[in-house]
Amino acid sequence: DLKTIDAIAVAKGPGSFTGLRIGSATAKGLGLALDKPLVGIPTVEALAYNLYDVNGLICPIMDARRKQVYTGIYRYEDHRLMTVKDQMAVGIEELLSMLNEMGEAVTFLGVPVFKDIIADKLTVPFSFAPAHLSRQRAGAVGALGVLYYKEGRTETAAEHKPDYLRVSQAERERAQKLKKGSEGENA
């Protein structure tokens, strides 16, 4: 029964623009209709939660195109997922430089497109999570949703917005077109 729901957990991004819009619109609609709060879960944080109680750093990576990744850096302390660096869109080489500076063993999970560059550039011990743990899971979003709801980390359906981490290609192209148009007017 929908009336027994306390809150609605939703992956808030990053991810595909269309997927995030659909997921957020669905969660917002349910939240508004049922008058229930939303618990926005960072996508890469939910991905990291797949590796419960792993030692060392956990680094989920999602391909953001153009040699960039959506990522964050996490660790477990006392059986609790802790954020070392919040989710971000960053160049893969910049991420690897950060991890090298931290000087700790790291476990990667997510899209394996960058395995070769990781092996080439990373100087700290590293491993890759098995495939069955390297994908986004609704169960991880739900489990974190329960924890964060109990901590009061909620928002109203009206307040919720996806966290894209960067603008879409269409928005970038529009901005470039507007910039070129304004440069032509100033000439």
Average pLDDT estimate for 43-66: 94
Q: Report residue 167's pLDDT band, with 50, 70 and 90 as the boundaries.
A: low
Residue 187 predicted with pLDDT over 60: no
* Cβ count within 10 A of residue 159: 12
Is there a contact between 73 and 57 (Cβ–Cβ < 8 Å)?
yes
pLDDT tens readout for residues 86-110? 999 999 999 999 999 999 999 999 8
Work out the average pLDDT over 48-62.
Answer: 96
pLDDT averaged over the chain? 90
Average pLDDT over residues 109-121: 90
Phi, psi of 112 (to 5 degrees): -85, 15
pLDDT reading at 186 higher than 70: no
Question: Are the beta carbons of 50 and 137 closer than 8 angstroms?
Answer: yes
Q: Please give the Cα distance from 31 to 156 (Å, whole number).
A: 8
Q: Which of 13-27, 115-129, 159-173 has the lowest mean pLDDT?
A: 159-173
This prediction's pTM = 0.85
String of DSSP letters for 107-175: EEEE-GGGHHHHHHH--S-EEE--GGGSS--HHHHHHHHHHHHHTT--B-TTT-----SS--HHHHHHH
The confidence score (pLDDT) of residue 20 equals 87
Alpha-carbon span 53 to 151, nearest angstrom: 20
Q: Which of 23, 28, 25 is nearest to 43 (CA)?
A: 23
Model confidence at 61: pLDDT above 90: yes
CA–CA gap between residue 28 and residue 129 (Å, rounded)? 33
